[in-house]
Homo-oligomer: A and B are copies of this chain.
């Protein structure tokens, strides 16, 4: 999609322009004029001759050349006709501000489909409906009702909420944060966040894409686009809905732990998108990446004229995974040469209250030239002895030719407003508090890693080996089965190479006995019933049973379960050789409606839900990603690196099993949830053993 007709149109027709002040259709014309849009403006209104001095036309088909963009702000039922007229006039871009479409229910959704069909027919692209339009501070284009057009800059801001977008633009204006474009996506009937992200990648005005997301329209397409764009143009996303409690009851740990928010986090991580956790963090990060190159490592030098903020900064850096190492000898000597003998040349470097602009400049120059640091944070607290504007200019001079970033934190408000504004002009990112600075620097470093090691599209796994067992699962689903227990799954999993401990389904005592004579014990004896999903909850599992006691266990177990689950159909027991020593982990899968199969790895045992020691990835993913999942959990790090009194585990086999679960999920869409719990991870070279499995089948349409 080309951006030009939306952001740099030559001629704008406003369908629904009004001569009455206070009406939205009047405000749009007024804003186009006030914001300084230089192209022709055509109010479309059958009853007016002119609006705000611009000749009005009764029908868009009568508008002369040039006209690239239509802004539509009329009641929803009239939109299709107006859109058709635009198409006939040869307009190829429309921003539909009207509400009353998919957001109001089924009828509106049908109307939305109608306008989409019309757009397709005439080869038009749409923004909206139900947004506030588009805005280009560079050209003065403002099709919104937002009065305060932001300063021109290089952050493109895409918002799924028009209102939030408006508030943020108002805020950005006050903070002197410049935007390249703003698009209010509304219902995104046609153009989505993904389209804009793709189009903005090559845009010369845009250095950073900041986006407010309520829901992504097509998960895999978004991930593919972001993977392409993010390494070149940073994408920062604020996604809400993070803590919404799941609506339906879930049958597996994976489903209860991995909701849609975890899917978004995983998708962002895998496609190089930086996730902001607040509106403030979104823009704090955006200016960090728009104004300066990112840091190439975590080592931050702090210069300050006050000890208190230095302590706050040191804390905040550490909390965000950054470091504040002491200066090395060369840097210390250079600081001494530049500043004279300060009491303590440590990091943070406190130049005391009276620190002058030349001192800030000198210290910043030394630190920017030092090999000991990857970034500089300069903190200023106002007092009668200093000059915030002078310090801003001094920092800009120091940063001008540096090969690493400099960030500023000017604390206070009234005394440093002008200094902050000057920093924005100099393109030095400036923050209210050290905490904000630390978060933004950490995000900038995250992006540096995305830039250095762009996320690769993973090789799709070979799904052919799974086709036979898919047919079998389809057959079971056809019988109306809602879930599959281990006795259903084991034969299938064995066929596709899952490492199972030797087992048998013993429908008779004799089968159980025969099995135990073939394998050394001890054994796990588990109830065999298509009606019981959580066996251990009702005492349906006996562990460490010696061979000679398996016959007794066969009867005891069924009697015990019978007391607690009177109606369950009991078919006998499943006998399985106990796995050798190792660490219990869990591997699971849940199908996310936006992104598709999401695989979970986590520590096992009863603590799994309570501790949330889990990590997620959207399938497919690389072996490297599978190993990163281990690194993101305590249980996984113990397997990777060992721990007091414990040896590492066979992480090669474990990563392979995690990816096998991903392949299974991709091959068999009938699986809604799937879980191996526990899996025993043995010592390196000894592999892993699956000792329980269950699956939930998808509801059939």
Is there contact, CB below 8 Å, between A279 and B645? Answer: no
A383 at the interface (CB under 8 A from B): yes
Is there contact, CB below 8 Å, between B240 and A167? Answer: no
Is there contact, CB below 8 Å, between B306 and A167? Answer: yes
Of B27, B308, B411, B610, the contact of A214 (CB 8 Å cutoff): B308
Is there contact, CB below 8 Å, between A279 and B646? Answer: no
Is there contact, CB below 8 Å, between B382 and A415? Answer: no
Which A560-590 residues have C-beta < 8 A from chain B?
A: none
Is there contact, CB below 8 Å, between A163 and B243? Answer: no
Q: A306-B163, A435-B279 are in contact. Are A311 and B241 (CB under 8 A)?
A: yes
- The interface residues of chain B lying within 8 Å CB-to-CB of A385 are 145
Q: How far is the CB of A102 from chain B (nearest CB, A)?
A: 14
Give the distance in Å from the alpha carbon of A246 to the alpha carbon of B169 in the complex: 44
Give the distance in Å from the alpha carbon of A167 to the alpha carbon of B318 in the complex: 23
Give the distance in Å from the alpha carbon of A279 to the alpha carbon of B313 in the complex: 11
Q: How far is the CB of A609 from chain B (nearest CB, A)?
A: 8
Which A219-246 residues have C-beta < 8 A from chain B?
A: 238, 240-245
How many copies, total?
2
Give the distance in Å from the alpha carbon of A305 to the alpha carbon of B637 in the complex: 46
Give the distance in Å from the alpha carbon of A432 to the alpha carbon of B160 in the complex: 20
Is there contact, CB below 8 Å, between A384 and B147? Answer: yes
Is there contact, CB below 8 Å, between A382 and B412? Answer: no
Is there contact, CB below 8 Å, between A415 and B148? Answer: yes
A433 at the interface (CB under 8 A from B): yes
Q: How far is the CB of A372 from chain B (nearest CB, A)?
A: 18
Is there contact, CB below 8 Å, between A280 and B432? Answer: yes
Against B, the Cβ 8 Å flags (1 = close, 0 = not) of A593-629 are 0000000000100110111010000000000000000
Is there contact, CB below 8 Å, between B433 and A383? Answer: no
Q: How far is the CB of A216 from chain B (nearest CB, A)?
A: 14
A104 at the interface (CB under 8 A from B): yes
Give the distance in Å from the alpha carbon of A674 to the alpha carbon of B240 in the complex: 45
Stretch at the interface among A171-179, A390-398, A520-528: A171-179
Is there contact, CB below 8 Å, between B384 and A145? Answer: yes
Against B, the Cβ 8 Å flags (1 = close, 0 = not) of A63-76 are 00000000000000
Q: A146-B383, A147-B415 are in contact. Are A167 and B309 (CB under 8 A)?
A: yes
Against B, the Cβ 8 Å flags (1 = close, 0 = not) of A645-685 are 11000000000000000000000000000000000000000
Q: Which residue of A241, A411, A412 has the most chain B CB atoms within 10 A of its CB atom?
A: A412
Give the distance in Å from the alpha carbon of A353 to the alpha carbon of B245 in the complex: 27
Is there contact, CB below 8 Å, between A163 and B242? Answer: no
- The interface residues of chain B lying within 8 Å CB-to-CB of A413 are 170-175
A-B pairs with beta carbons under 8 Å apart, 20 shown: A27-B384, A146-B384, A161-B306, A161-B309, A162-B306, A163-B307, A163-B381, A167-B382, A169-B412, A173-B414, A240-B315, A243-B319, A244-B314, A278-B433, A279-B411, A280-B432, A606-B638, A606-B643, A607-B607, A611-B613
A-B pairs, top 10 by smallest CB distance, nearest first, are A161-B308, A174-B413, A163-B306, A164-B308, A170-B412, A167-B411, A243-B318, A167-B381, A240-B311, A610-B634
Which A residues have a C-beta under 8 Å from some C-beta of B?
Answer: 24, 27, 104, 145-148, 159-175, 212, 214, 238, 240-245, 278-280, 305-309, 311-312, 314-315, 318-319, 343, 353, 381-385, 411-417, 432-433, 435, 534, 536-537, 603, 606-607, 609-611, 613, 634, 637-638, 643-646
